[in-house]
Amino acid sequence: MNDRDTTADENVIEIEGLSRRFGAKCALDNVSLEVPRGIVFGLVGANGAGKTTLIRHVLGLLKAQAGAVRVFDRNPVKDPVGVLSRIGYLSEEGDLPGWMRVDELIRYMRAFYPTWDEDYAQELRRQFALDPAAKVKTLSKGQKARAGLLVALAYRPELLVLDEPSSGLDPIVRRDILGAIVRTIADEGRTVLFSSHLLDEVEQISDRVAMLKGGQIVFTGELDDIKQTHHRLAVRFEEERTVPPAIDNVLQWKGQGREWGAVACGRLEAVTMAVLAMGGEVVEHKVLSLDEIFIARVGATAGTREEATP
Partner 1 sequence: MMISTQMTPTQAILWQIGWRSRWVLLGAGAYLLMAIALSHLLTPYVQAHYGERGTLGLGMYLGVPCVLVIVIVLTAFSLARVNAGETTPPSHMLVLPIRTVQLVAVPMVVGSFVVVAIWLAIAWLILQPTGVVAPVWWPAAALVLFLTAFQAISWTPFAQAWMSLVATLAVTAGGFALFLAAMLAGMVDFSFSRDSGWLASAFLAFVPVAYRAALSGMAMKRRGDAYDWKQWDLWMARLAAWRKPSERPFASASAAQVWFECRSIGWYLPVFVGSMTLFMPVILIASWNDSDQTWKLAQIVIGLPLLMATVAGGILGSVNGLETKPPQGPFLFTRPLSSVALVRDKLWMGLLSTAATWVVMLPLAVLILFRPGFVQTVREWGASVPLWKVLILPPVAAMLLFTLSWKQLVESYWVPLTGRDWLVGVFTGGFVFLIMGGVGAGLGLAFHPEQAAMVSAAAVWLMVIAVGMKAILAVWVLRGLDRARLVSRGFMWGMGGLWIVIVAGLMLAALNYLPRSEVSLAQVVLGVVLLIPFSRLMGTPLAVEWNRHR
Residues that bind partner 1 (CB under 8 A): 59-63, 77-78, 80-82, 84-85, 87, 89, 91, 93-101, 103-104, 107-108, 110-113, 132-133
**Sequence-distant (≥ 6) Cβ neighbours of residue 34 within 8 angstroms:** 11, 13, 14, 15
Of 13 and 233, CB closest to partner 1: 13
Tell me how far apart the alpha carbons of residues 205 and 185 are, in angstroms, rounded to a whole number. 10
Of 115 and 301, CB closest to partner 1: 115
Cα Rg of the chain, angstroms: 22
Shortest gap between Cβ of 176 and partner 1 (angstroms)? 21
Shortest gap between Cβ of 52 and partner 1 (angstroms)? 11
Shortest gap between Cβ of 234 and partner 1 (angstroms)? 47
Give the largest Cα separation in the chain, rounded.
Answer: 73
Of 151 and 211, CB closest to partner 1: 151
Contact indicator for 117, 155 with CB cutoff of 8 Å: yes
**Sequence-distant (≥ 6) Cβ neighbours of residue 103 within 8 angstroms:** 132, 133
Shortest gap between Cβ of 103 and partner 1 (angstroms)? 4
Contact indicator for 243, 307 with CB cutoff of 8 Å: yes
Of 18 and 62, CB closest to partner 1: 62
Shortest gap between Cβ of 137 and partner 1 (angstroms)? 9
Residues 103, 106, 109, 113: is their CA dihedral positive or negative?
negative
Of 85 and 229, CB closest to partner 1: 85
